[in-house]
Amino acid sequence: MQEIKNFLTPKECQELIKMIDANHTRSSVVVGGTDRSDVTDHRTSSTSNLEIHNPLIQDIKDRVANILGIDINKGEALQGQLYEPGQYFKPHNDFFGGVAYDMHCKASGNRTHTLMIYLNDDFEGGGTRFPQLNTTVQPETGKALWWENMVEGKVQEQYLHEGVTVDKGKKYIVTSWWRERNWDGSGDENMYNESTKENKVAKIEEPQIVEGMQNKSYIVKASQAEGLKTPEEKKEFTSVADFPRFTENGFTLMKCPTETWSLIKESYELLKDKKENEEFDGKDEFIKGGGSEIMSFDHLSSMRTLIHNQLLKPHEDWVKEKLSPSFIYGIRSYTKGATLTPHVDRIATHHISSIIIVDKDLACGCTNKPNADDWPLDIQGHDGEWYKVYAQPGDMILYESAVCEHGRKETFGGTYFRNFYVHYKLQDWVYKQ
C-alpha cells in the first residue's frame, strides 16, 4: 500500500467534483458471492460513472497506468463517489469471488489493483480504514492511495477496507480499478479495439477548396511523370524521388471532424498552462526567430490513440490507401518572430499528415503594425507550384508530408500561433533504406 501526495492539483480535483455533482446515483454493491448488484445498507454513498472521452479523465487514467506500471487497456472506467453526512461503505474487498467472479471476471479477470484519489478534505470523518492492518488513511486533497488486490494470482485479504462514516460536510473520491486482462465490461475498451474502430471514427465534414486552386489545371510534364509513381506501379520506395503521390496536388483543406475538434479543444484547455520550451534535433535549422513551445501529449497516450483512430478514416479516404498511426507530439505554439524553414517530413514514418489550427493571436502588441494578414502555410504542390494556405481554428490541412515541401516563410508578427499535428504511415508501402 502506498500514498502519493499531490497526485492531482486542487484545480483538477474541483473539476472532478463538478462532474460528480452533475451526475450521480445511489451506489450498489455485488451481493455476497452472487451475480447480483443491489442497493443495500452495506454502501450508502452515491456513484458517478465519469465520461471516458473527457481529456482530464484520459489524463488521469494515463497517470495511474504509469504509476502502477500497467497496460492502460486493463483499466476499468474511472468512477467518482460522493459521501454525504451519515454515509459510509462497510468493510469489503475489491476483488470478486464465488458466483460474482463467474459473472464479472470471465473476460477481463479479477481486480489486481485499486487506486483511490481524495478530491477534498473539508469534511469530518470519512477516513479509509483497513481493519486487518489496524490503519486508517486520512483524506488529503489530491492524495492518491493504492494497493494490490492480487499478487501472483493470490487474493490479498489483508486489504479489506471501509469508507468510514462522514460526520459533517461532503466527501468526494475517484476510484480506479485494474484487471488481469484488458477490460471489457463497459465499452471503455472499444476506444482501443481495432475491430470497433469504424464505429468510433468521427463524421467527415465537407471539404473546403484552398483559395486560388478553383480554376487551376493540373498538368504534369512528361519529364516529371516518371517520378510520380502510383500505388499500382510500385510498393516500395527508397527516397523522396520514388515515393508515391496519391492525390492530385498533394494537399487539401477541410474542417476538422466535429467530435475530434471537441477533444482537441478540451485537451488544449487542459494543457495550455503547461507549455514548455520545445527542443528536438535540428530545431534551429527549421524554427528560427521567435522559436516555439510545446504542450506535450506525453501523459495523454490514450487521448492520442483516440484522436489517431478518429482521424484515420478522413486521411484514408483522401489518399485511398490503408494507413497506420505513427506520431502525435502535442500542440506546438510558435512565438513572435518565428519562421519555419520549408522542409519535408520523415520519410520512414511521416507519410500522410495533417495540421490542425488550434488557436492564434495575431496582434503583436508592439508599436508597428500587427500581422493583420495572418500567417499562412507555404506548401509546394505536386505541380511544382507554391501555395499559401490561410486556415482558421478548427481547420485541418491534410498533406503528403514526406514529399510536399512545406513551411512558413513569412515572419510571424503576432503573439502566438498554435497547431496540432497528426502523422500516419502507409501500411502497404515499405521504405527501404
Give residue-wise pLDDT tens across range 385-413. 899 998 899 999 999 999 999 999 999 98
Kindly state whether residues 136 and 151 are assigned to the same domain.
yes
- Please check the confidence at residue 196 and state whether its pLDDT lies above 50: no
Q: Look at residue 364 in the predicted model and tell me its pLDDT.
A: 56
Q: Look at residue 99 in the predicted model and tell me its pLDDT.
A: 66
Kindly state whether residues 148 and 233 are assigned to the same domain.
no
Nearest one of 137, 157, 174 to 17, comparing CA atoms: 174
CB 397 within 8 A of CB 389: yes
CB 378 within 8 A of CB 406: yes
Kindly state whether residues 213 and 341 are assigned to the same domain.
yes
CB 306 within 8 A of CB 76: no
Kindly state whether residues 247 and 395 are assigned to the same domain.
yes
Q: Look at residue 282 in the predicted model and tell me its pLDDT.
A: 61
CB 137 within 8 A of CB 128: yes
Kindly state whether residues 184 and 199 are assigned to the same domain.
no
Kindly state whether residues 176 and 214 are assigned to the same domain.
no
Return the amino acid letter for 431.
Answer: Y
- Confidence band, pLDDT 50/70/90 cuts, at residue 235: confident
CB 169 within 8 A of CB 123: yes
Read off the pLDDT of each residue in 216-231 and give the average, rounded to a whole number: 36
Kindly state whether residues 407 and 282 are assigned to the same domain.
yes
Of 176, 191, 206, the residue at which a domain comes to its end is 191
Name the domain count of the chain: 2
DSSP 79-105: EEEEE-TT--EEEE-SS--HHHHHHHS
- Please check the confidence at residue 208 and state whether its pLDDT lies above 50: no
Q: Which of 83-97, 178-192, 327-341, 384-398 has the lowest mean pLDDT?
A: 178-192
Of 173, 191, 209, the residue at which a domain comes to its end is 191
Expressed as residue numbers, the domain containing 399 is 194-431
Kindly state whether residues 186 and 201 are assigned to the same domain.
no
Kindly state whether residues 285 and 346 are assigned to the same domain.
yes
Kindly state whether residues 180 and 209 are assigned to the same domain.
no
Of 191, 216, 246, the residue at which a domain comes to its end is 191
Judging by beta carbons within 10 Å of its beta carbon (0-12, 13-18, 19+), is residue 195 exposed, middle or buried?
Answer: exposed
Model pTM? 0.52
Q: Look at residue 160 in the predicted model and tell me its pLDDT.
A: 93
Domain of residue 145, CATH code: 2.60.120.620
Longest Cα–Cα distance in the chain: 84
- Confidence band, pLDDT 50/70/90 cuts, at residue 236: confident
| pLDDT over 90 percentage in the chain | 47
Kindly state whether residues 165 and 225 are assigned to the same domain.
no
- Please check the confidence at residue 33 and state whether its pLDDT lies above 50: no
Q: Higher-confidence residue: 418 or 291?
A: 418
d(CA 264, CA 307): 8
Lookup: cell for 89: 461503505
d(CA 57, CA 63): 10
- Residue 411: DSSP 8-state: P
Q: Look at residue 398 in the predicted model and tell me its pLDDT.
A: 96
Lookup: cell for 184: 471489457
Kindly state whether residues 174 and 217 are assigned to the same domain.
no
- Confidence band, pLDDT 50/70/90 cuts, at residue 367: very low
pLDDT, tens digit, 9 for 90 and up, residues 51-107: 877 889 988 998 999 889 898 889 998 999 999 999 999 998 998 877 667 777 878
